[in-house]
Amino acid sequence: MKKFNLYILTLLVCLSFAMNAVSQEYAKALKAPAVYNQYYLNLFLINPANTGFDGQGKLLLNFRNQWAGFESSPKVLTLAIDASAAPNMGLGASIYSENFGVSNQFLAQVNYAYQFQANKDMKMAFGLSGSYIQYNLDNETLTDPLHQSPDPKINGAVNGEKYFAADFGFYTEIQNKFKIGISIPHLVETRLDKTNTTTTTPQPDRPVNFTGFVGAIWRMPEYRVVIEPSVGLRKISDVPFGADFNILARMMDDKLFAGFTYSYNPSWHKIAFLGGIKLDKLGIFYSYDQSYLEFQNFNNGSHELTLTLDIFKPKAKAATSDTGMMKKEDLGASKMEEKK
């Protein structure tokens, strides 16, 4: 009997940056995880508890060109590694760089996850990450004709702000059919370049950060297809609460990928399309999205490209693949054992 599985939670999109917010207010809005269309393919980017969860190791390179065709639009580059250091431990690291007009953000992050088998049907993990974050404006801001010197805020933003932040995450998979994850970005945040005051959420003057993810896996082995619907929720900083409704199809034993996302928040909506292929150890994924805003008339949508390279995979246990079919190499090994 075919079963449809439902979920709830994780990552939306915090594109709510005003082009005139080139001071510390912009930096405040940026104190949040990066925005990725393809996060549901690489959950460790938004939840440290997912780091190394599948027992594999891979390198990831992601480039996002937001609002393409619009001058000085945001451009984001991410380099990351996700690996299983031990049977119950995941380790990862990432470097993130964003440029938006004269505004810049740099982040270096390290992830740690502890995994355990709660019972035969449920695997769980808790994760922590520590990040060094820097925000600043380009020096050319000071020579801009619109800049009236002296402006303490602009001058301070050029010098930049430096922070240390710690994130917490929880992730679980149930019966290899359901995925549930929740993370709290910047649970602890410390200003490094000024008064080193450590704060914890929630606070009256500091919005609560929250991302979550709930997904399901529906296998159709007769068609060599796996369907993964999911829902993501996100509330970050002063950006309105929003939700993603995702659907991912993995075909031909994870060699071909197709996906669709509808994103909603009270002020705007967007749709995104994803396509990808897996060539042995190399994965290539591309997505395009556009929003239902008047601003869409002045740009060509947003493009995102991800390259992944598998470093190692977990040892085969003569188990079935995600499509529910015995892998050829495992089947051959099983027959050899039977003959012995």
Q: Which of 138-152, 177-191, 202-216 has the highest mean pLDDT?
A: 177-191
pLDDT bin (cut points 50, 70, 90) of residue 241 is confident
Mean pLDDT on 233-240: 81
Strands 242-251 and 218-220: unpaired
Whole-number percent of the chain with pLDDT over 90: 55
Q: Which residue has the higher pLDDT, 316 or 258?
A: 258
Distance between CA atoms of 205 and 185, rounded to whole angstroms?
A: 16
| % of the chain residues with pLDDT over 70 | 77
Whole-number Å distance between alpha carbons of 46 and 213: 10
CA 168 remoteness from chain centre: 14
pLDDT band at 238 (very low <50, low <70, confident <90, very high): confident
Band (207; pLDDT cuts 50, 70, 90)? low
Sole residue written with tokens 């150890």: 281
Write down the pTM of the prediction: 0.79
Q: Give pLDDT, residue 12.
A: 26
Q: Which of 166-170, 272-276, 285-289, 309-313 has the lowest mean pLDDT?
A: 309-313
Domains of the chain and any CATH numbers: 24-339 (2.40.160.40)
Sign of CA dihedral 316, 322, 327, 331: positive
| CB count in 10 Å sphere of residue 151 | 14
Judged against a pLDDT cut of 70, whether residue 202 lies above it is answered with: no
16 pLDDT exceeds 60? no
CA pseudo-torsion sign 88, 234, 278, 220: positive
Half-sphere exposure of 202 (CA within 13 A, CB side): 8
Q: How far apart are CA 229 and CA 38, in angstroms?
A: 13
Whether residue 332 is predicted with pLDDT greater than 50 in this model: the reply is no
Give the separation between CA 322 and CA 330, rounded to whole angstroms: 14
State how far the Cα of 179 lies from the Cα of 184, in Å rounded to an integer. Answer: 17
What are the tens digits of pLDDT across the range 244-275? Answer: 999 999 999 999 999 999 999 877 889 999 99
Could you tell me the pLDDT band of residue 25, with boundaries at 50, 70 and 90? very low
Please give the Cα distance from 3 to 177 (Å, whole number): 10
Which range among 143-147, 267-271, 309-313 shows the weakest confidence by mean pLDDT?
A: 143-147
For 289-304, write each residue's pLDDT tens digit.
999 888 888 899 999 9
Q: With 80 as the cut, is the pLDDT of residue 318 above it?
A: no
CA count, 13 A, side-chain hemisphere, 264: 6
d(CA 261, CA 264) in angstroms, rounded, equals 10
Please report, in angstroms and rounded to a whole number, the separation of the first and last CA atoms in the chain.
37
**Is residue 62 very low, low, confident or very high in pLDDT (cuts 50, 70, 90)?**
very high
In the numeric block, the tokens 């705007």 are attached to 268
User: pLDDT tens digits, residue range 91-126?
Assistant: 999 999 999 888 899 999 999 999 999 999 999 999
Q: Provide mean pLDDT across the span 75-102.
A: 93
Residue 48 has what pLDDT?
A: 96
Give the separation between CA 257 and CA 96, rounded to whole angstroms: 25
Contacts of 313 (CB under 8 A, 6+ apart): 55, 56, 57
Distance CA 281, CA 225 (A): 20
What average pLDDT does the segment 74-84 reach?
Answer: 95
State mean pLDDT over 181-196.
Answer: 84
Range with the poorest average pLDDT among 48-52, 82-86, 170-174, 198-202: 198-202
DSSP for 37-95, written as a single string: TTGGG-GGGT-GGGTTTTS-EEEEEEEEETTTTSTT--EEEEEEEEEEEETTEEEEEEE
pLDDT of residue 155: 76
